[in-house]
């Protein structure tokens, strides 16, 4: 879509668009270009010179068992975060949708966690499951379960998943709730008259109608799990134990900043660029015509 | 509404069950925040000897004033101020540059328009997480480490906001621009007198979303603020944990966590309608 009526001149629009273009160029394109360029080199240990290695860094990465493991970790993590945030959200939204009065109050309460930063959420959950002072871990101990996410990789993964999914429940709830509210009542009533009970109506009518929203949320939550959960992992596990919670984004950080391995970190950035690119394309291609609010 | 629901709405026991489920859900979701609040009102010994109490104690002022005015590395008041500058800087900055660039794209035909449009679009695919090392080097090169500029500028270009405004500008009736042109009004006059006032609601909705985005940043401030005086509150909490075997000062840390979530929670809850709208708009 284009405007029919436009203003004349070319200097003014260039000046108007300049701030955004300059900032994008300096802080987005140049660094991204640098990442691609650096991914083709291996710097010497003193950072004085670097040697061109072509796709050497990539070949090394793809054969590196830690990197492959990080891919797998990221996949498991993203799937779990998505499931743990979407299912409870849908459940709550379905219940809230049945209420005529009071759903506003519940909604207000439920959006709180969205405002809590992932890193702060990490601290809250760490506090509950802290091996020394955590309330939940203490009660688990009373029940005979010895919780220790510092040593146990599976428990560490469980904790970062729950802490990451927690704030997203609010977000998903809002979208599911809006979608459910827009399902025409007449359709549901008609089914009810035909004698379809609640679950029958839910799976037969409501769920298909909100599928576009669910699919949209699926993509958005995967993107979130990939790129926005750094704070949770950094505060709770710092990628451990034995790299069992080192997702790809965390590895770029730990190899680049902590390990100072610039070539490898840049190559990882480039791989992530491809991943974001794919996810963005999916988002635009399939999610465009999704909801009818 | 009531009549419309009539047929499928449960009554009696059913409605109570529904409320009970909802309350249970809210309690579970809320529990981590409640626990943090309780921990921020009790003494350190009460926490380190588990199980800690589940009901607030009487150390509220004690812990909060200690956090705010002395903190662990730096007073939390300083970190709150830094976060506020960063969040408002990012939100306002993004809105301004996006309004301007969307106006240019929608209301003008100029050489390179398509190229610039795609250039802005592609920034969607470059989250800070995938370009951390080189972006850090750029910011260091400008001498912007430990500065508000360094905190704000690299996060300020937003394709999302530009698209949102572009989308909205396209719905402004052509007659308005036509009339402005006939009257001989300059484009910037049209921008200030018509476009900006008409975009008020969009601007407000976007502000809510962007404020929270800026406030909740973690990785970027972690990289570029090595000076505790420049720490933001969200990244500063982690810095309050001792390295090694010392015991963390839990009441102060938890008071800081509560302080860190208060501004975004106030913004979200008090501007709920705008927030939901901004959320739905910005994801379109």
The secondary structure of A126-182 as a DSSP string is HHHH-TTT-HHHHHHHHTT----TTT-HHHHHHHHHHHHHHHHHHHHHHHHHHHHHT
CA dihedral sign of residues A151, A152, A155, A156: positive
Is the pLDDT assigned to residue A262 strictly greater than 50? yes
A253 in reach of chain B (CB within 8 A): yes
Does one domain contain both B56 and B103?
A: no
Are B98 and B188 found together in one domain? Answer: yes
Preferred mutation among A2, A120, A287 to probe B, highest tally of B CBs within 10 A = A120
Domain that holds residue B192: 76-282
User: pLDDT tier at B187 (50, 70, 90 boundaries)?
Assistant: confident
Question: Which of B131, B158, B215, B246 to mutate against chain A (most A CBs within 10 Å)?
Answer: B131
- Per-residue confidence at A260, pLDDT binned at 50, 70, 90? confident
Task: For residues B213 and B111, state if they share a domain.
Answer: yes
DSSP character string of A218-242: HHHHHHHHHHS-HHHHHHHTTT-ST
* pLDDT score at B277: 74
Instruction: Give the whole-angstrom CA distance, residue B214 versus residue A249.
Output: 19
Q: Which two tokens stand for residue A160?
A: 């970062």
Spatial distance between the Cα atoms of B120 and B159, rounded to a whole number of angstroms: 6
A82 vs A220, higher pLDDT: A82
Q: Based on the structure, what is the number of domains in chain B?
A: 2
pLDDT at A94 over 70: yes
Asked whether residue B160 falls in the same domain as residue B131, the answer is: yes
**CA–CA dist B262, B257 (Å, integer):** 9
**pLDDT of B136 higher than 60:** yes
| Mutation for B interface: A123, A275, A293, most B CBs within 10 A | A123
How far is residue B124's CA from residue B110's CA, in Å, rounded to a whole number? 23
Contacts of residue B124 in chain A, CB cutoff 8 Å? Answer: 280
State residue B208 phi and psi, 5-degree precision: -60, -50
Determine which of A79-83, A93-97, B249-253 has the lowest per-residue pLDDT on average.
Answer: A93-97
The answer on B237 and B215 residing in a single domain is yes
pLDDT of residue B273 exceeding 60:
yes
Among the residue ranges A190-204, B54-68, B249-263, the one predicted with the least confidence is A190-204
Are residues B142 and B267 located together in one domain of the fold?
A: yes
**At B282, is the pLDDT very low, low, confident or very high (cuts 50, 70, 90)?**
low
Alpha helices in B6-147 (DSSP H): 13-39, 44-48, 60-69, 76-107, 113-122, 132-141
pLDDT for residue A286:
66
Average pLDDT (B200-207) is 89
Nearest Cα neighbor of B256 from A123, A189, A254, A65 is: A123
The top-scoring range by mean pLDDT among A69-78, A100-109, A240-249 is A69-78
Q: Is the pLDDT of residue A55 over 60?
A: yes
Interface A–B counts its CB contacts (< 8 A) at 304
Looking at residue A292, its pLDDT comes to: 36
Looking at residue A198, what is its pLDDT? Answer: 80
Give residue B2's pLDDT: 39
Interior angle at CA A28, CA A26 and CA A34, nearest 5: 85
Q: Are residues B16 and B155 in the same domain?
A: no
Residue A288 confidence (pLDDT) above 60:
no
- Which residues in chain A have their CB less than 8 angstroms from residue B107's CB? 3, 6-7, 13
Q: Which is nearest to B33 in space by CA: A111, A112, A103?
A: A112
Asked if A278 has any chain B CB less than 8 Å from its own CB, the reply is no
Distance from CA of B270 to the nearest CA of A (A): 9
Instruction: Judge whether residue B181 has pLDDT over 60.
Output: yes
Which residues sit opposite A52 in a β-bridge? A41
Residue of A nearest to B184 (CA): A7
Please give the torsion angle defined by the CA atoms of residues A191, A192, A194 and A200, in that order, rounded to the nearest 10 degrees: 70
Average pLDDT over residues A212-234: 89
Among B53, B125, B266, which would you mutate to test the A interface (most chain A Cβ atoms within 10 Å of its Cβ)?
A: B125
Helix, strand or coil, per DSSP, at residue B9:
coil
Residues of chain B with Cβ-Cβ distance to A113 below 8 Å are 29, 33
Helices (H), A182-290: 185-193, 198-201, 207-227, 230-236, 248-253, 262-287
Residue B174 φ then ψ, to 5°? -60, -30
Mean pLDDT, range B173-178, rounded to an integer: 87
pLDDT digits (tens, 9 = 90+) for B10-20: 556 678 888 88
Report whether pLDDT(B244) > 80. Answer: no
Residues B247 and B170 in one domain: yes
Percent of chain B topping pLDDT 70: 93
Residue after which a domain boundary falls, among B53, B69, B85: B69
Sign of CA dihedral B204, B205, B209, B212: positive
Q: What is the mean pLDDT of residues A233-259?
A: 89
| Interchain contact, A266 vs B133, CB within 8 Å | yes
Nearest CA in chain B to A257: B133
Please check the confidence at residue B195 and state whether its pLDDT lies above 80.
yes
Q: Among residues A33, A27, A2, which one has the least CA distance to residue B113?
A: A2
For residue A167, the chain B residue with the least C-alpha distance is: B29
Q: Are B36 and A178 within 8 A, CB to CB?
A: no
Cβ–Cβ gap A115/B9 under 8 Å = no
Give residue B245's pLDDT.
66
Output the pLDDT for position B159: 83
Question: Of the candidates B35, B107, B280, which has its C-beta nearest A7's C-beta?
Answer: B107
Q: Are A126 and A236 in contact (CB under 8 A)?
A: yes
CB within 8 Å: A117 and B261: yes
Q: Which of B20, B39, B69 is the last residue of a domain?
A: B69
Nearest CA to A17 out of B207, B197, B165, B210 is that of: B165
pLDDT at B197 over 90: yes
Decide if A252 touches B, using CB distance below 8 A.
yes
Report the percentage of chain A scoring pLDDT > 90.
35
What length is written for chain B? 284
CA–CA separation, A200 and B118 (whole Å):
46
Q: What is the CATH number of the domain that holds B215?
A: 1.10.3720.10
pLDDT at B7 over 50: no
Please report residues of A whose CB lies closer than 8 A to that of B51. Answer: 135, 138-139
* Separation between Cα atoms, residue B145 and residue B138, nearest integer Å: 10
Whether residue B98 sits in one domain with residue B12: no
Cβ-based contacts of B247 with chain A (< 8 Å): 132
Average pLDDT over residues B49-75: 88
- B252 shares a domain with B229: yes
Residue B108 and residue B234 share a domain: yes
Least confident of A28-37, A45-54, A91-100, A121-130: A45-54
Interface with A, mutate which of B158, B218, B226, B260 (most A CBs under 10 A): B218
- Mean pLDDT (whole number) for B50-58: 86
Confidence of residue B5 (pLDDT cuts 50, 70, 90): very low
Cα Dmax for chain B: 77
* Closest residue of chain B to A255, computed from CA coordinates: B133
Residue among A5, A16, A230 minimizing CB distance to B103: A16
The predicted structure's pLDDT at residue B93? 95
B57 pLDDT more than 50:
yes
Contact B1 A100 (CB under 8 A): yes
Q: Which residues of B touch A201 (CB under 8 A)?
A: 8
Classify residue A279 by burial, with Cβ atoms within 10 Å: 0-12, 13-18, 19+.
middle
Domain boundary among B17, B39, B69: B69
What are the tens digits of pLDDT across the range B74-101? 999 999 999 999 999 999 999 999 999 9
Q: Is A147 on the interface with B (CB under 8 A)?
A: no
Cβ burial of B36 (10 Å; 0-12, 13-18, 19+) is buried
Give me the mean pLDDT over the A42-49 stretch: 71
In angstroms, the CA B261 to CA A114 distance is 10
Higher pLDDT, A196 or B155: B155
- Which structure tokens are listed for A275? 């991943």
CB-based contact (8 Å) between A101 and chain B? no
CA A196 remoteness from chain centre: 37
* B122 Cα to chain A: minimum distance (Å): 9
Measured between CB atoms, which of B162, B190, B216 is closest to A118?
B216
- With cut-offs at 50, 70 and 90, classify the pLDDT of residue B251: very high
Dihedrals phi, psi of A51, to nearest 5 degrees = -110, 135
Distance of CA B169 to the CA centre of its chain: 24
CA distance to partner chain B, nearest, from residue A55 (Å): 18
Domains belonging to chain A, first-starting first, are 64-287 (1.10.3720.10)
| Position A131 pLDDT exceeds 50 | yes
pLDDT of residue A275 exceeding 90, the answer is no
B64/B81 same-domain check: no
Which residue in this structure is represented by tokens 């005015």?
B69
């Amino acid at each position: 879509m284009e405007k029919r009526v436009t203003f004349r001149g070319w200097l003014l629009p260039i000046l108007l668009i300049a701030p955004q273009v300059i900032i994008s160029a300096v802080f987005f394109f140049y660094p991204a270009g640098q990442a691609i360029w650096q991914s083709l080199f291996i710097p010497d240990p003193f950072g004085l010179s670097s040697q061109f290695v072509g796709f050497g860094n990539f070949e090394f990465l793809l054969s590196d068992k830690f990197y492959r493991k990080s891919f797998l970790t990221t996949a498991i993590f993203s799937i779990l975060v998505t499931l743990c945030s979407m299912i409870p959200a849908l459940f709550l939204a379905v219940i809230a949708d049945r209420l005529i009065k009071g759903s506003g109050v519940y909604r207000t309460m439920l959006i709180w966690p969205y405002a809590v930063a992932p890193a702060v959420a990490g601290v809250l959950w760490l506090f509950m499951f802290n091996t020394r002072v955590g309330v939940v871990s203490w009660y688990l101990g009373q029940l005979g379960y010895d919780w220790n996410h510092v040593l146990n990789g599976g428990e560490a993964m469980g904790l970062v998943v729950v802490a990451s999914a927690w704030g997203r429940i609010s977000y998903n709830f809002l979208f599911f709730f809006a979608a459910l509210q827009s399902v025409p009542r007449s359709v549901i009533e008609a089914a009810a008259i035909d004698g379809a009970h609640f679950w029958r109506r839910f799976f037969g009518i409501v769920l298909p109608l909100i599928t576009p929203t669910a699919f949209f949320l699926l993509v958005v939550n995967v993107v979130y799990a990939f790129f926005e959960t750094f704070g949770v992992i950094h505060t709770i596990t710092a990628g451990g134990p034995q790299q069992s919670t080192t997702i790809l984004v965390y590895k770029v950080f730990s190899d680049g900043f902590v390990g100072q391995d610039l070539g490898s970190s840049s190559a990882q950035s480039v791989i992530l660029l491809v991943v974001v690119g794919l996810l963005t394309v999916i988002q635009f291609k399939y999610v465009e015509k999704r909801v009818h609010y | 509404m009531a009549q419309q629901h009539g047929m499928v709405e449960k009554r009696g026991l059913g409605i109570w069950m529904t409320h009970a489920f909802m309350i249970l859900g809210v309690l579970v979701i809320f529990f981590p925040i409640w626990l943090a609040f309780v921990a921020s009102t009790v003494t350190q010994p009460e926490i380190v000897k588990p199980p800690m109490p589940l009901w607030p104690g009487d150390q509220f002022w004690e812990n909060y004033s200690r956090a705010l005015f002395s903190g662990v590395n730096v007073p939390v008041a300083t970190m709150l101020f830094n976060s506020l500058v960063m969040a408002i800087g990012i939100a306002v900055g993004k809105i301004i540059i996006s309004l301007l660039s969307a106006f240019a794209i929608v209301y003008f035909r100029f050489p390179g328009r398509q190229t610039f449009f795609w250039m802005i679009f592609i920034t969607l695919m470059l989250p800070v997480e995938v370009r951390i090392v080189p972006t850090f080097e750029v910011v260091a090169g400008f001498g912007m480490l430990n500065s508000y500029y360094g905190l704000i500028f690299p996060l300020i270009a937003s394709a999302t906001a530009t698209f949102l405004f572009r989308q909205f500008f396209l719905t402004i009736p052509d007659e308005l621009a036509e009339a402005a042109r006939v009257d001989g009004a300059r484009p910037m006059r049209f921008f200030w007198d018509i476009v900006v006032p008409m975009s008020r609601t969009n601007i407000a909705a976007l502000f809510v979303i962007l404020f929270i985005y800026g406030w909740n940043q973690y990785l970027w401030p972690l990289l570029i603020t090595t000076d505790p005086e420049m720490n933001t509150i969200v990244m500063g909490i982690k810095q309050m944990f001792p390295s090694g075997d010392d015991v963390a000062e839990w009441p102060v840390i938890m008071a800081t966590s509560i302080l860190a979530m208060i501004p975004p929670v106030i913004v979200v809850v008090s501007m709920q309608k705008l927030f939901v709208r901004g959320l739905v708009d910005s994801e379109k």
